[in-house]
């Protein structure tokens, strides 16, 4: 009998537990994931993997859980440099009287590049491998994410007043087209339209976005129904709630990534389900700004795709997706008065595959399946704080901290190895953050 020669692969990751997310509710003990050319080619028991493959590298983590990289489905990552500058204020005061004036004084390509770099380092150390970005200077954002090998969908901003990025409606759309054209075929970076909110974007601009999104097959990433004030303002100005207005304008569809959604009627929930809208739950920002509660359980029961986002560090104040997902799960239960609602497996799915689906990346990432990109995270579960280990996914959602993330890969390339950032200058990033602190402090004086 002829013995078959082992298959070559670039990387074999062995873990005590593999949590693939798809199929739902599964934990695979003592398994391995084989990677070739940045792609997952097999998920199988460790002994079988050793027999079948001849890997260039083996990473063995017998006391870790291997999970898909976490997907932060809503972030303003340059605002990492504004961490803590205007805390304990309601949204409108926080935004209009503090954040916008500070941004007016400091925003520019350098601010955006340095803020994104700091954010990438923080996200990698917390097991996040992909984000849905929403800020100005998307050209700089895209180049920075690409430089560090981080997966992102970068928002093309549209807002009804001049900013450092664009001075007129025509310029917002012209620059959006330029950035989209530059990155349209990239393996890691994609784009979306990012109109700020219903209260800062006109009907005409929304109609223009709808037309272009249809033509280019791009998502629309939008703050929506974030506060009761937003809803009341829309009723006063337009005679409609924001969702009804957007429906009139043709935007309530499967391209819409609706962020926050704290003020929803039952009819609006079912409309989102029928049209394929994805909802991004940002519980910590909503709690801190007293904006309201997203009805996550009701959305889930209606069949709406749920994702999780941190929002910006200026209102959160971190990019900790483990903490955000724990808050999302616990808050959802309280809001629904249902301890069984939004269980641990569902929360992990929202933080991975749900986010990927919202962003249109679910064919690439969000689960550990052959054919998908190897965006993977090893989480050490050996620490005292996660023992005894009765239920792996329960521990991941309710007991695990981001400091337990040991290894991170994006498209099969190591980005964090045994808690050390790969190809990122930690000392330089910290020094840069401190000089921005001094510059922003001078603005505040």
pLDDT at position 3: 65
CA distance 350 to 437: 34
Residue range(s) in the chain whose domain bears CATH number 3.20.20.140? 70-358
The DSSP-derived string for 332-365 is HHHHHT-TTSS-HHHHHHIIIIIHHHHTT-TTTS
pLDDT digits 0-9 by tens, 266-313: 999 999 999 999 999 999 999 999 999 999 999 999 999 999 999 999
For the domain spanning 70-358, the CATH number is 3.20.20.140
On whether the CB atoms of residues 270 and 299 are closer than 8 A, the answer is no
Domain with CATH 2.30.40.10 in the chain: 7-68+366-411
> Which pLDDT value is given to residue 89?
86
Residues 105-141, buried b or exposed e (16+ Cβ, 10 A)? ebbebebbbbbbbbbbbbbbbbbbbbbbbbbbbbbbb
Q: Note the pLDDT tens digit of each residue in 163-214.
A: 999 999 999 999 999 999 999 999 999 999 999 999 999 999 999 999 999 9
Rounded to whole angstroms, the Cα distance separating 38 from 291 reads: 41
Q: How many CB atoms lie within 10 A of CB 378?
A: 26
Other Cβ atoms less than 10 A from the Cβ of 408: the count is 26
Cα dihedral 269→274→275→280 (10° resolution)? 40
Map tokens 């050793």 to a residue.
Answer: 50
Separation between Cα atoms, residue 171 and residue 173, nearest integer Å: 5
This prediction has a pTM of: 0.97
CATH level 2 (architecture), domain 7-68+366-411 = Roll (2.30)
* Closest residue by Cα to residue 184 from 210, 159, 217, 207: 217
φ/ψ of residue 180, rounded to 5? -60, -45
Number of other residues whose CB lies within 10 A of the CB of residue 184? 12
| pLDDT by 10-residue block (mean), the chain, 445 residues | 82 98 98 98 98 98 98 98 90 86 93 98 98 98 98 98 96 98 98 97 98 98 97 98 98 98 98 98 95 97 98 95 98 98 98 99 98 98 95 98 98 98 97 95 85
Structure tokens at 352: 């991975």
Residues 6+ apart with CB under 8 A from 386: 395, 399, 400, 404
């Amino acid at each position: 009998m002829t013995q078959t020669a082992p298959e070559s692969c670039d990387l074999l990751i062995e873990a005590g537990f593999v949590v693939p997310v798809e199929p739902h509710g599964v934990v695979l003990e003592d398994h391995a994931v084989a990677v070739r050319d940045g792609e997952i080619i097999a998920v199988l028991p460790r002994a079988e993997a050793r027999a079948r493959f001849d890997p260039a590298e083996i990473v063995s983590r017998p006391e870790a859980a291997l999970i898909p990289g976490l997907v932060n489905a809503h972030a303003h990552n340059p605002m990492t440099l504004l961490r803590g500058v205007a805390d304990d204020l309601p949204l409108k005061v926080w935004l209009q009287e503090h954040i916008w004036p500070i941004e007016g004084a400091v925003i520019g390509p350098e601010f955006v590049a340095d803020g994104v770099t700091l954010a990438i380092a923080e996200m990698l150390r917390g097991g996040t491998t992909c984000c849905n970005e929403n800020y100005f200077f998307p050209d700089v954002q895209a180049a920075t994410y690409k430089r560090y090998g981080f997966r992102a969908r970068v928002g093309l901003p549209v807002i009804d007043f001049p900013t450092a990025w664009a001075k007129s409606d025509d310029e917002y759309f012209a620059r959006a087209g330029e950035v989209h054209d530059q990155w349209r075929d990239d393996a890691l970076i994609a784009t979306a339209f990012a109109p700020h909110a219903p209260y800062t974007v006109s009907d005409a601009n929304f109609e223009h976005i709808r037309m272009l999104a249809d033509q280019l097959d791009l998502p629309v990433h939008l703050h929506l129904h974030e506060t009761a004030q937003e809803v009341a303002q829309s009723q006063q100005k337009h005679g409609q709630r924001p969702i009804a207005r957007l429906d009139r304008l043709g935007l309530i569809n499967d391209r819409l990534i609706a962020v926050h959604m704290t003020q929803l009627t039952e009819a609006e929930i079912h409309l989102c389900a029928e049209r394929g809208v994805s909802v991004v739950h940002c519980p910590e920002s909503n709690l801190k700004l007293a904006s309201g509660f997203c009805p996550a359980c009701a959305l889930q029961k209606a069949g709406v795709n749920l994702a999780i986002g941190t929002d910006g560090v200026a209102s959160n104040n971190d990019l900790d997706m483990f903490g955000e997902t724990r808050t999302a799960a616990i808050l959802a239960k309280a809001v629904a008065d249902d301890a069984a609602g939004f269980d641990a497996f569902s929360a992990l799915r929202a933080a991975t595959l749900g986010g990927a689906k919202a962003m249109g990346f679910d064919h690439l990432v969000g689960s550990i399946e052959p054919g998908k990109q190897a965006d993977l995270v090893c989480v050490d579960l050996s620490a005292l704080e996660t023992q005894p280990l009765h239920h792996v996914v329960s521990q991941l959602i309710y007991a695990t901290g981001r400091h337990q993330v040991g290894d991170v890969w994006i498209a099969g390339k190591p980005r964090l190895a045994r808690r050390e950032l790969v190809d990122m200058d930690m000392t330089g990033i910290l020094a840069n953050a401190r000089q921005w602190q001094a510059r922003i402090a001078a603005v505040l004086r």
